[in-house]
Amino acid sequence: MKKIYGIFVCNNLKNVINLDQDLYEAMNKKLKNFYIIDLSLLYGFKTEKINQLFKVFRPRSYNELDNFLTRNKSIIFNHVSRHLKYLKFFIFIRKYKIILLELIRGNSIQLNEVYYKKGNFIFLLKIKIRRAIYKLLTVFNFINNYDCLFISTKNVKKYYHNYRDILLNKIFCTNRFFKHKKIIIMNDKIYDLSKNKKKNQKYIIYIDTPLSKIDYIPEKDMPDEVSKKKFYNLLTLHLDKLSKIFRKKIVICLHPKTNFKDVRKYFKKYICKKYQIWEYIDKSFLVTCIASTAVAYAIYNKKKILIFNSKYLNKFHLYRSEILAKNYKIISLKVEERKFENLNVKRINANKPYNILLKNIMLKKNNSGVKEIINNIKKY
């Protein structure tokens, strides 16, 4: 039986690869038989083209997936979420020799979780029901728990291996009350991405946040088309002013989920790039955004950061903007304010956010997260 390594993914393949491309490229290079197992066709999603570097297997039926998994011992990072519509998949893979792994390698700045708990009762109830169903199916051995979680956030065991589950495992002499049998805390990906990179201060960049509707956020909490237009018009005025003051070009780092057609009219005079955010943070004099988890990379590299917020963003995005500024002591500016008199970009303190970040995530010197992951999965 051949041993293979790879990832399960169901949709948004390009985005999934982009999030941890350095890891998958290293696995593809150092491990034999690395596959992207793309389940898009099983669920009616469009397939996406990716780097030809990777071998991609796209089963058209569960019979094809069965033939593939039966022939191999598989060590797989799973990116298929535990939603009810994918329940058949999790029950199906129960019978195969699969080492199932989960990866949370860059979740250092969390912006949404607390918002979910604020008055979004129906959404929270759905999550709890879904989790309870998967928990019961795991406990009664209808689906597998994960063999290992690789995560870069500190102090996570009290959440993933909580006292209640530890007690239940002892009472019933099992480990099935855990979602993950084992947890390995490794260096955050911003360490690997920053290593040996040339830094300069050539650009002012804006990290894009999609303002389109989100299924799990109430529509009343999101900006409507009129508000979006007002926000973008004011935002571009500020970007133009910053460009003029500091004589730097503006680069818009588009979010992977942003459709450029939707924002072209606002950003047409700027350089717009997608899937190149780390490169342009490295080249930045100033990083601006509404709110983005990618800011962790800018903080780690001690870049100057400015957060934009606005009443036009409405509750959800305004909350994310304010919580990021508050938690990491980053200067924020309302786009409605036309004057920069109180803003001295050159004196922005990059050390405060950096020190806060180090308290939350694992960043040991000379310790590559990619190497640690590969060394551990070779042991299976």
Is residue 210 included in any domain, yes or no? yes
169, with CB counted inside 10 A (0-12, 13-18, 19+), is middle
Claim to verify: residue 32 and residue 78 sit in the same structural domain: yes
| Phi, psi angles (nearest 5°) of residue 117 | -85, -5
Is residue 193 included in any domain, yes or no? no
Of 107, 108, 111, nearest to 319 (Cα)?
111
Claim to verify: residue 143 and residue 223 sit in the same structural domain: no
Claim to verify: residue 234 and residue 105 sit in the same structural domain: no
Claim to verify: residue 317 and residue 255 sit in the same structural domain: yes
Instruction: Kindly report the CATH number assigned to the domain that includes residue 146.
Output: 3.40.50
Number of domains into which the chain is organized = 2
Is residue 13 included in any domain, yes or no? yes
Claim to verify: residue 319 and residue 175 sit in the same structural domain: no
Element (H, E) at 238: helix 225-246
pLDDT digits (tens, 9 = 90+) for 340-365: 655 677 778 889 999 999 888 887 77
Claim to verify: residue 317 and residue 210 sit in the same structural domain: yes
Is residue 154 included in any domain, yes or no? yes
Of 242, 232, 238, nearest to 312 (Cα)?
232
Claim to verify: residue 264 and residue 207 sit in the same structural domain: yes
Element (H, E) at 185: strand 183-185
Burial 325-359 (b: 16+ CB within 10 A, else e): beebebbbbebeeeeeeeeebeebeeeebbeebee
* pLDDT band at residue 115 using 50, 70 and 90 as cut-offs: low
pLDDT digits (tens, 9 = 90+) for 43-100: 999 888 887 889 999 999 999 999 999 998 999 999 999 999 999 999 999 999 899 9
Is residue 268 included in any domain, yes or no? yes
| Phi, psi angles (nearest 5°) of residue 180 | -125, 130
Claim to verify: residue 129 and residue 256 sit in the same structural domain: no
Claim to verify: residue 312 and residue 173 sit in the same structural domain: no
Claim to verify: residue 306 and residue 371 sit in the same structural domain: no
- Judged by DSSP in three states, 308 sits in strand
Instruction: Kindly report the CATH number assigned to the domain that includes residue 324.
Output: 3.40.50.2000
Claim to verify: residue 100 and residue 181 sit in the same structural domain: yes
Angle CA(150)–CA(153)–CA(157) in degrees, nearest 5?
A: 75
pLDDT digits (tens, 9 = 90+) for 153-196: 887 777 889 899 999 999 999 999 999 999 999 989 998 998 87
> Residue 217 pLDDT > 90, yes or no?
no
34: number of Cβ within 10 Å = 20
Give counts: helices (H), strands (E), the chain: 16, 13
| CB 157, CB 178: distance < 8 Å | no
> Residue 113 pLDDT > 70, yes or no?
no
- Domain of 29, in residue numbers: 2-188+364-377
* pLDDT band at residue 117 using 50, 70 and 90 as cut-offs: low
pLDDT digits (tens, 9 = 90+) for 11-28: 889 989 988 999 999 999
Claim to verify: residue 269 and residue 179 sit in the same structural domain: no
End-to-end CA distance of the chain: 14
